[in-house]
Each structure stands twice: as C-alpha cells, then as structure tokens.
C-alpha cells in the first residue's frame, strides 16, 4: 500500500488537508491541546472537545477555500 502525503493544488479539488493534533488531559479530566495545519504551520490552541471541533472545522473550511482558488 502506498501512502500519499502530498497536500495542495497538485491534489486537485479532492486533495487532502493534513493536521497534527496534540491533546493532553489534566488531573481533573479536562482536555486541551494544539491543532497544527501542516501546510501552513499555523497552530491554534483549544480547550475542550467542542473547541477542538470548531478549530478543525475552521481549518478545513479554509483549506477548501484555498484549494478552490487554485
């Protein structure tokens, strides 16, 4: 099986956006972390699952808009 790690215009409209998600859990059980968009290097911190979902949703929407421009 071949793994394709490309991201960006060469992938066309169905290309991939790659994110790194770093999550930690404190003693009280609350989660927090950082989402990093690999292509841009942009990092956004979050606290809680709802915030994680919002961060990833915004980044995916931006990635789709960027691909449409190309």
Among candidates 50, 47, 59, 48, which has minimal Cα distance to 20? 59
Q: Specify whether the CB–CB gap between 15 and 64 falls below 8 A.
A: no
Q: Is 49 helix (H, G, I), strand (E, B) or coil?
A: helix
* C-alpha pair distances (Å), 26 with each of 15, 30, 34, 51, 61: 35, 6, 14, 16, 30
65 compared with 51, residue with greater pLDDT: 51
In this prediction the pTM is: 0.74
* Domains in the chain: ranges and CATH: 15-69 (3.30.160)
> pLDDT at position 5, please?
52
pLDDT tens column, 6-44: 555 554 456 788 999 999 999 999 999 999 999 999 999
Extract the tokens encoding 49: 């699952």
């Amino acid at each position: 099986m071949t793994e394709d790690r490309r991201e960006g215009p060469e992938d066309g409209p169905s290309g991939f956006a790659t994110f790194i998600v770093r999550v930690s859990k404190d003693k009280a059980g609350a989660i927090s972390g950082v989402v990093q968009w690999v292509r841009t290097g942009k990092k956004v911190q979050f606290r809680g699952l709802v915030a994680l979902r919002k961060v990833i949703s915004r980044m995916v929407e931006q990635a789709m808009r960027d691909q449409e421009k190309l």
